[in-house]
Amino acid sequence: MSARDLITDHLDLWTGAVTFRSTAGRGKNGKIELTGIKKLRELILELAVRGKLVDQDPNDEPASVLLEKIAEEKARLVREGKIKKPKKLPEIAEEDKPFELTDGWAWARIWDISELITSGSRDWAKHYSDYGAIFITMGNLSRGDYKLRLDNIRYVSPPAGGEGARTSLQAGDLVVSITGDVGNLGLIPEGFGEAYINQHSCLVRFSSLCRNRYHAEFFRSPSAKTQFDEPQRGVKNSFRLSDMGEMRIPLPPLQEQHRIVEKVDELMALCDRLEQQVGDQLEAHEVLVDTLLDALTRSADAEELSRSWARVAEHFDTLFTTEASIDKLKQIILQLAVMGRLVEQDPNDESASVLLERIEEAKARLVNKGKIKKPKKPHFPSDQDKIFPLPGGWEWASIASTGITSTGKTPSTKEKHFFDGDIPFIGPGQITAGGEVTQPEKFLSETGLIESEEAVPNDLVVVCIGGSIGKCAKIHTRCGFNQQINKVCPILVHPDYLLSTLSTDFVRQSILEKSTGSATPIINRSKWEAICIPLPPINEQHRIVEKVDELMALCDQLKARLTEAGETRTHLAEAMVDQAVN
């Protein structure tokens, strides 16, 4: 089977194998990785470097002859003083050859086909400039590709005859990261101009007798990645120049190298089209999901809501086929819940206005007992706060009206005994988009907790600063929290109903609108407390929570089935790759 047939005969497998990046709970941000197409790209490259992508031509000059010519050319350059004499490298042992090569191919080390392998120099910072030569850093290199990323370019004005001159780049040079994320690549194109690299990268200048893109294709193949991963040194990981020179490359005849590059270009373009097609389908699917789900919240009455839901139910199996669509369904469930459209109202329920009075009475008793300070007079909702109509018996109420609010504090880090206990101390990083609280890095002692702010089970915490502003969670374990988090301790309000309300898009949007600062949004406590939310009768809150839990469980089951199906397709794609390669 040809490589093209391998792609076209199994399109459903390559485009259907996806990995869902799970987001637990009731949050959003479900993302899809096109695992099948990613595997297909890796397969193309692996077939290429194993001699299985294009036909061999017995008339091609074998790679062994090419290696002899390169050795002779390098010896001439050494005699002329143009390059240094390379160290003699050991022959590649049979056990170090990961697979058998086809006729006409040969195993070689990168040094065998290169004129220069060197790393960049240090101390470039003093030569930074607003113009001049391009300075290639690791941020300009690509993972899984060799195209330079030039959206963020830095320039240098190197001194004449400086030490960095040895790393002046030429067209055809391959730049490779050798610290941290080892193996990121950048191929210098024709006409690139004067450019240099720093000490975190090395350049490989291939012999002029074989300077083409086959070597770059090898460097982004799974075979090369395996070799990049072999020497793991230090916390930051490092790949020495000797490691680079000793890398083993399967070398085809020169004419076949050109045919391989041409075929790789053709098949990668086909992968690009597949990726675009899948992307267009996902985008169209997203628009359809948005349109039908938005119709649910725009419904004017129960009859229109019923018709809108019928349209969704009719296409349920085709609508909710991605994690993103299921997350949107979850958000709509929450929105319908707090609009009073998820469960029926009971005219016999005690109204929310009476509930609010009882909350105020409970607060007054706590003040009289000295357990809390007298709170500020709560914000009374204006017509502007009432962004949608509520059912009878419901009321708009500020967050402060639902309980006792506070802002966290960080104990002095100079006092080590504040942080030698086992009480979790959380910040925004411990609150996930899905409404969970993860394990923190810091723990407080009892005295440390006194210097912080305490949260106990059923309290709700909300991030009030930064890119994650508005994230919220219910506390399950006694903990302390820092000043980037606000807390509400519900009084006579169901904490899970309040969590559902705080998790809706409209509340998060309200937080952003009342925040200050564009780069780092922040909302002060008084503005946050004044945000208004819909409050149903307490009995209805319980019915809403029960229904939300039921529907969220169904959504989680849908997600689990999607993940299982995606994993199955991914395993099939991996099996197909293994079969094709081996």
Domain limits of the chain? 1-31+271-348+539-582, 61-252, 352-536
Distance between CA atoms of residues 40 and 104, nearest Å: 26
d(CA 357, CA 340): 21
> Left (φ > 0), alpha (ψ -120 to 50) or beta: where does 172 sit?
left
CA dist 144 and 183 (Å) reads: 9
Number of H helices, E strands in the chain: 17, 22
CB 373 within 8 A of CB 404: no
d(CA 148, CA 74): 28
Q: How far is CA 170 from CA 82, 175, 188, 195, in A?
A: 15, 11, 7, 8
Going by the DSSP 8-state scheme, the letter that residue 349 receives in this structure is: S
**Which of helix, strand or coil describes residue 33?**
strand
Amino acid in the structure at residue 295: A
pLDDT in the model for residue 37 = 85
DSSP SS3 for 120 = coil
pTM of the model: 0.65
Is the Cα torsion angle 303, 308, 311, 313 positive or negative in sign? negative
- Within this chain, domains 61-252 and 352-536 share the same CATH topology: yes
H-helix segments, 166-253: 214-219, 222-229, 241-246
Contact 113, 67 (CB under 8 A): yes
Task: Write down the pLDDT at residue 23.
Answer: 45
* DSSP calls for 412-438: -TT-GGGGSSSEEEE-GGGB-TTS-BP
Q: Are 259 and 217 in contact (CB under 8 A)?
A: no
Phi, psi of 84 (to 5 degrees): -80, 155
Q: Distance (Å, rounded) from C-alpha 336 to C-alpha 298?
A: 10
Question: Measured between alpha carbons, how far apart are the two ends of the chain, in Å?
Answer: 14
Strands 460-463 and 472-474, by their bridges, are antiparallel
What CATH number was assigned to the domain covering residues 61-252?
3.90.220.20
What is the structure's pLDDT at 131?
87
In the CATH hierarchy, which fold is given to the domain comprising 352-536?
Answer: Adenine-n6-DNA-methyltransferase TaqI; Chain A, domain 2 (3.90.220)
Question: What is the Cα–Cα distance from 504 to 324, expressed in whole angstroms?
Answer: 16
Question: Which DSSP symbol is given to 350?
Answer: P
d(CA 192, CA 30): 39
Contacts of 299 (CB under 8 A, 6+ apart): 305, 307, 308, 341
User: What per-residue confidence (pLDDT) applies to 25?
Assistant: 39
**Can you read off the two tokens belonging to residue 193?**
């101009």
> Which stretches in the chain have pLDDT values below 70?
1-13, 16-32, 163, 232-237, 300-302, 566, 569, 573, 576-577, 579-582
198 residue type, one letter: N
Contact 440, 481 (CB under 8 A): no
